Structure 1
Amino acid sequence: MRKFDKDRLLLGLAGPALALVVAFLLTSVVLLLSGRDAIEPYQLMVENAEFTDVQVLILNQTGTYYLAALAVAIGFRMNLFNIGVDGQYRLAAMVSAVVGASVTLPGPLHILLIVVVAMLVGAFWAGIAGILKTTRGVSEVVATIMLNAIATALIAWLILPANLGVQPAGSNDLTTGEIAESGWMPGLDVEGGTVYGFTLVAFALGVVYWFVLNRTRFGFDLRATGASESAAQASGVDAKKMVLTAMLISGAVAGLAGMPLLLGQTHTYSLSFPVGVGFTGITIALLGRNSPVGIFFAALLISFLEKTSASLDTYGYEKEIAIIMQGLIVISVVVSYELVRQYGLRRQQQKVGEELAAQARKTKKEVAA
């Protein structure tokens, strides 16, 4: 049984805690420089969070962000930077909505079909970057950025009424048509609204993520390849296969990020479907340090900032305060994690030195005796 490492736990918590404190202080400075109260906006946001309908909105948004962040984290654990989660998620949501609206099946089968299509589309789109990296050495960062742009253009073309889109009467919006009720996923009715059914599935996937990465041979190979590709190859792991597999899985999970909203509320893909979810997922994965528990609390925090800041403008404060804080969190995460890493190395060296000194004193006493 592995010995509990208190220092490792404290260092793991120190990074995100320091990042949040720094982001809070810098946001307060921005408010002060603009002649605003530096504390009242936070008080208003906390008060808004006391409303049950806002709490439901926060929880549902957390589910979406959690899936996007898991997709990013899978790449991070493999030392891959999948910036294309946003394109993978939107293209998967759009295609799965088209398929869902074109068929009528018994409830469970209908939902399953939509989910499987979303995973396949997300995996396919991420797999393009994986193939380019493993066969031509193209950076996944460059490939996924370009694929994001291509996905945006492709969606804009596919959703035209002349192709797969539908324009509701009297509206300028374009949709993919409404999914039949058999394809709606039941949610959990609570005071204040309905928690999407797929939000609960998202949190369950966090358990699957932890188990696969920490309790299976595949997870070990993935982490080993991410830590050192040459060492993994020396131990018999096919590094290129692991890179492609990690990108496919990351894309499949990214494809699921649109399912809470699609199956739980909109039941169609339209021009108003959220964008930027994948990029927010990068922030959350960094803040949560790729841990399923850390990612959950990071997703909850970002959702809290977004949903509780929506009404700040009614009190004379711009709701963009939350966006500023999110940006500062990203910067603070990078700096704080590096500071904590350096401190951890110094602490480790100090402990080794103390252990060697203690061993030397013990040996000296034994010789003297």
Structure 2
Amino acid sequence: MKKFDKDKVLLGIAGPALALAVAFVLTTLVLLVSGLDPIEPYSLMVQEAEYPDIQVLILNQTGTYYLAALAVAIGFRMNLFNIGVDGQYRLAAMLAAVVGASVELPGPLHVLLIVLVAVFVGAFWAGVAGFLKTTRGVSEVVSTIMLNAIATSLIAWMILPANLGEQVAGSNDLTTGIIPESGWMTGLAVEGGNIYGFTFVAFALGVVYWFVLGRTRFGFDLRATGASESAAQASGVDAKKMVLTAMLISGGVAGLTGLPLLLGQTHTYSLAFPAGVGFTGITIALLGRNHPVGLFFAALLISFLQKSSASLDQYGYPKEITTIMQGLIVIAVVVSYELVRQYGLRRQQRKVGEELAAQARKNKEDVAA
């Protein structure tokens, strides 16, 4: 059985805790400099989150963010920076909505078809970046940024009424048409509203992520390749194949990001479909340290900040406070993790030195005896 490492757990918690503390302090300073009450906004946000409907909104948003963070985390574990999750998720949601609206099948098959289309499109779009990296050495950061821009333009063209879209009567909004009810996913009706069915699928995928990465040979090969491609190749792992596979899986999960909203509420893709989710997923993956439990709490925190701050402007506080805090979290998390890492190395070196000194003293005493 694996021995419990208390120091490792404490250092793992110290990074995000320090980042959140720094972000909170700096945001408070921003409020003070602006001449605003530095405490009341937080109190108002907590009060807002006590309403059942806000709690449902937070939980549904957490599921969406959790999927985006999982997609990013898969890349991070492979030492890949898939910054294209946003483009992959929007393109996948759009084409999945088009296919879903064009057919009518028995319920489970209809939902399954939409899910498969979303996974395939997301994986394909990320696979382009993976192919370029493994065959031409193109940085995935550069290629995924460009693919985001291409996806945005491609969606704007495909959603035109002359192509795959429809214009809502009396509105300037463009949609892909409504998915028949057979393609909707039943959620959980609670006091505050409806928890999307796919939100539970999102959390279940976190368990799959934990098992595959931590308990299978494939997960070990993926992490080993991320740590050192040359060492992985020396042990018989095809590093290029692992890079491409990781990008395909990351893109496939990214493709699922829009499904909680698509299957649970909108049942169509429109110009109002949220953008920027993929970039929020990067923040969550960094804060959650790529661990499924850490990702959940990070996604929950970001969702809480966003949904509970919607009414701050009614009390004279800009709701952009949460945007400032999220930006500060990104900066603070990078700095805090480096500080914690260096402290951990020094602590480990000190412990090794103490053990060696103790062993030397014991040897000396044995010789003297």
Compute the TM-score of the two structures, normalised by the length of structure 2. Answer: 1.00
Instruction: Give how far 1:157 is off.
Output: 0.2
Query: CA offsets per residue over residues 283-332 of structure 1, 9 Å max, x none?
Result: 00000000000000000000000000000000000110000000000000
Aligned equivalents of 1:315, 1:25: Cα separation in 2: 21
Query: CA offsets per residue over residues 317-363 of structure 1, 9 Å max, x none?
Result: 01100000000000000000000000000000000001001111111
Q: Which residue does the alignment assign to 1:12?
A: 12
Residue 96 of structure 2 is aligned to residue 89 of structure 1: no
Aligned equivalents of 1:230, 1:75: Cα separation in 2: 18
Q: Which residue does the alignment assign to 2:290?
A: 290
Q: Which residue does the alignment assign to 2:227?
A: 227
Could you say what secondary structure the match of 2:167 adopts?
Answer: coil
Q: Which residue does the alignment assign to 2:276?
A: 276
Could you say what secondary structure the match of 1:319 adopts?
Answer: coil
Aligned equivalents of 1:366, 1:113: Cα separation in 2: 73
Q: Which residue does the alignment assign to 1:163?
A: 163
Aligned equivalents of 2:4, 2:362: Cα separation in 1: 26
Q: Which residue does the alignment assign to 2:203?
A: 203
Residue 127 of structure 2 is aligned to residue 130 of structure 1: no
Q: Which residue does the alignment assign to 2:27?
A: 27
Which residue identity is paired with 1:215?
Answer: R
Residue 321 of structure 2 is aligned to residue 321 of structure 1: yes
Aligned equivalents of 1:180, 1:39: Cα separation in 2: 47
Query: CA offsets per residue over residues 125-158 of structure 1, 9 Å max, x none?
Result: 0000000000000000000000000000000000
Could you say what secondary structure the match of 2:174 adopts?
Answer: coil
Which residue identity is paired with 2:362?
Answer: K
Residue 40 of structure 2 is aligned to residue 40 of structure 1: yes
Task: Give unpaired runs (5+ residues) of structure 2.
Answer: none
Residue 203 of structure 2 is aligned to residue 194 of structure 1: no
Task: Give unpaired runs (5+ residues) of structure 1.
Answer: none
Compute the TM-score of the two structures, normalised by the length of structure 1. Answer: 1.00
Aligned equivalents of 1:306, 1:4: Cα separation in 2: 36
Q: Which residue does the alignment assign to 2:254?
A: 254
Q: Which residue does the alignment assign to 2:114?
A: 114
Aligned equivalents of 1:315, 1:187: Cα separation in 2: 34
Q: Which residue does the alignment assign to 1:98?
A: 98
Aligned equivalents of 1:308, 1:328: Cα separation in 2: 18
Which residue identity is paired with 1:121?
Answer: V
Aligned equivalents of 1:299, 1:87: Cα separation in 2: 19
Aligned equivalents of 1:358, 1:7: Cα separation in 2: 20
Aligned equivalents of 2:88, 2:3: Cα separation in 1: 40
Aligned equivalents of 1:101, 1:361: Cα separation in 2: 76
Query: CA offsets per residue over residues 200-234 of structure 1, 9 Å max, x none?
Result: 00000000000000110000000000000000000
Q: Which residue does the alignment assign to 1:54?
A: 54
Aligned equivalents of 1:322, 1:57: Cα separation in 2: 16
Identity %: 85
Aligned equivalents of 1:207, 1:2: Cα separation in 2: 19
Q: Which residue does the alignment assign to 1:212?
A: 212
Instruction: Give how far 1:246 is off.
Output: 0.1
Which residue identity is paired with 1:281?
Answer: G
Instruction: Give how far 1:368 is off.
Output: 1.1
Which residue identity is paired with 1:317?
Answer: Y
Aligned equivalents of 1:210, 1:362: Cα separation in 2: 43
Which residue identity is paired with 1:30?
Answer: V
